[in-house]
Amino acid sequence: MKKQKTILLGMSGGVDSSVAALILKKQGYNVIGVFLKVYSNAKNKFTGECLYLDELKIAKKISALLDIPLIFLDFEKEYKKNILKPMLKSYSLGKTPNPDIACNKIIKFPILWKIAKKYNADYIATGHYAKIKKTLQGYKLLAGEDKSKDQSYFLSDLSQKDLSHTIFPLGNLKKQNVRKIAKQNKFPNWNKHGTTGICFIGEQNMQKFLKRKIREKPGIVKTPEGKVIGTHKGIFFYTIGQKTGTHIGIEIKKPINLSQKRFYIAEKKLKSNVLIVAPESHPSLAKKQVFLKNLHFINPKEKIPPHLKARIRHLGELHDGALKKSKKYIFIFSKLVEAIAEGQYIVLYHKNQLIANAEIKL
């Protein structure tokens, strides 16, 4: 008789991980759910309770419905040390980091595998919309079937080792079908809104969040030509490509000939604390190439295709271009691309396969 495989599934209380649990159980796996508590500062605005408690209640209900065990683990200390602290430092250096990518690489997947081994599990699983394909050269990471929910961008720092013991049960499903399955099985979260925002923290007004951690440092605003036209609250609170306005603490007096134009952030000068802004379609708002820091190939054994597509934000536009190396790796776009910020991640694709990622350096 074939031995039943055990799988450890990260359960968040959301509909995706709940349906993933159902699918894995129907496939014959011995499913163990695990709920990771990593951030308790976010509160429910109606009850005042920590938001994670609401999610935990739902995860417990789903586990009871499916008759699977649910483990509760507290890794808040590790999360704050390894994700939040570096994120805040990165913002304080004028960069625009992506904590979700780091969260998956440093917290979520390593912790799940560590716990999986403790319970003699064969695999780990999550409710991400992505796919893994095993080949003779190793493992490929592929975009999820639902292009409007594809989460491969956030998984781009995973290693071959991570992929070798991971399963994504929702990779071939569309979100509407996931909700339909949840409704048919009377899951209480079938129509629950998906989680957005910072990994494990959720939706936040980023500027307000940063202001609780980083002091304001007012400075001046200039045009690309060097003319002073206003003031700002601190360059840490803004990102390249962001539209200016008093609502975010940027006061500018537009030149008369450009008074009807929208102005966007073009550059942040950290040493002088100067913000450079420009009217829409100005050349300073776009880049033709970027330098790549800490380039990570999903499968180093595979030959890199000459032409790739690059994404600089989750579900953002895929830009044609090519990866080049002289002294350093650079990515050259086929056309000018706007709103590129230092510290963001660029993720490279060939068709639906994720090839590599790197931190952007300008």
CATH code (residue 94): 3.40.50.620
Residue 316 is assigned to a structural domain of this protein = yes
Most confidently modeled of 1-15, 76-90, 287-301? 287-301
Q: Based on the fold, state whether residues 196 and 306 are members of the same structural domain.
A: no
Query: What is the average pLDDT across 118-135?
Result: 97
Q: Based on the fold, state whether residues 10 and 119 are members of the same structural domain.
A: yes
Residue 158 is assigned to a structural domain of this protein = no
Q: Based on the fold, state whether residues 96 and 188 are members of the same structural domain.
A: yes
**pLDDT band at 41, cuts 50/70/90?**
low
Residue 324 is assigned to a structural domain of this protein = yes
What is the sign of the dihedral through the CA atoms of 337, 339, 345 and 351? negative
Residue 173 is assigned to a structural domain of this protein = yes
Q: Are 228 and 221 in contact (CB under 8 A)?
A: yes
Residue 142 is assigned to a structural domain of this protein = no
**pLDDT band at 54, cuts 50/70/90?**
confident
Tell which of 281, 301, 320 closes a domain: 281
191 or 285, higher pLDDT: 285
Residue 234 is assigned to a structural domain of this protein = yes
Q: Are 52 and 42 in contact (CB under 8 A)?
A: yes
Q: Based on the fold, state whether residues 52 and 117 are members of the same structural domain.
A: yes
**CATH number of the domain bearing residue 318:** 2.40.30.10
User: What percentage of the chain has pLDDT greater than the value 90?
Assistant: 80
Tokens of 35: 């709920």
Residue 276 is assigned to a structural domain of this protein = yes
Torsion over CA of 100, 125, 121 and 356, rounded to 10 degrees? -60
Tell which of 227, 256, 281 closes a domain: 281
Tokens of 192: 């629950």
pLDDT score of 158 more than 70: yes
Q: Based on the fold, state whether residues 38 and 94 are members of the same structural domain.
A: yes
Q: Based on the fold, state whether residues 80 and 188 are members of the same structural domain.
A: yes
3-state secondary structure (DSSP) of residue 65: helix
- CA–CA dist 12, 127 (Å, integer): 9
Q: Based on the fold, state whether residues 196 and 97 are members of the same structural domain.
A: yes
- CA–CA dist 153, 156 (Å, integer): 5
3-state secondary structure (DSSP) of residue 241: coil
Q: Based on the fold, state whether residues 252 and 187 are members of the same structural domain.
A: no
**pLDDT band at 209, cuts 50/70/90?**
confident
What is the sign of the dihedral through the CA atoms of 299, 303, 309 and 312? positive
Q: Which domain holds residue 231?
A: 215-281
B/e letters for 218-246, b = 16+ CB within 10 Å, e = fewer, are ebebbbeeeeebbebbbbbbbbbbbebee
Query: What is the average pLDDT across 312-321?
Result: 95
Query: What is the average pLDDT across 352-362?
Result: 96
Helix-then-strand count for the chain, H and E: 9, 18
Can you give the pLDDT at residue 196?
A: 52
Q: Based on the fold, state whether residues 12 and 63 are members of the same structural domain.
A: yes
Q: Based on the fold, state whether residues 23 and 86 are members of the same structural domain.
A: yes
Secondary structure E strands in the chain: 6-10, 30-37, 70-74, 123-125, 130-135, 138-143, 166-167, 219-222, 228-232, 251-252, 263-269, 274-279, 286-297, 308-311, 319-325, 329-338, 345-350, 353-361
**How many domains are there within the chain?**
3
**pLDDT band at 200, cuts 50/70/90?**
very low
Residue 62 is assigned to a structural domain of this protein = yes
Q: Are 236 and 217 in contact (CB under 8 A)?
A: yes
Tell which of 281, 309, 325 closes a domain: 281
Q: Based on the fold, state whether residues 231 and 344 are members of the same structural domain.
A: no
* Partners of 94 in the β-ladder: none
Q: Based on the fold, state whether residues 17 and 94 are members of the same structural domain.
A: yes
Rounded to whole angstroms, what are the CA distances from 220 to 234, 298, 304, 336, 352?
Answer: 9, 42, 44, 28, 44
Positions marked active-site: 103, 199
Give the number of other CB atoms < 10 A from CB of residue 334: 13
Pairing mode, strands 166-167 and 123-125: parallel
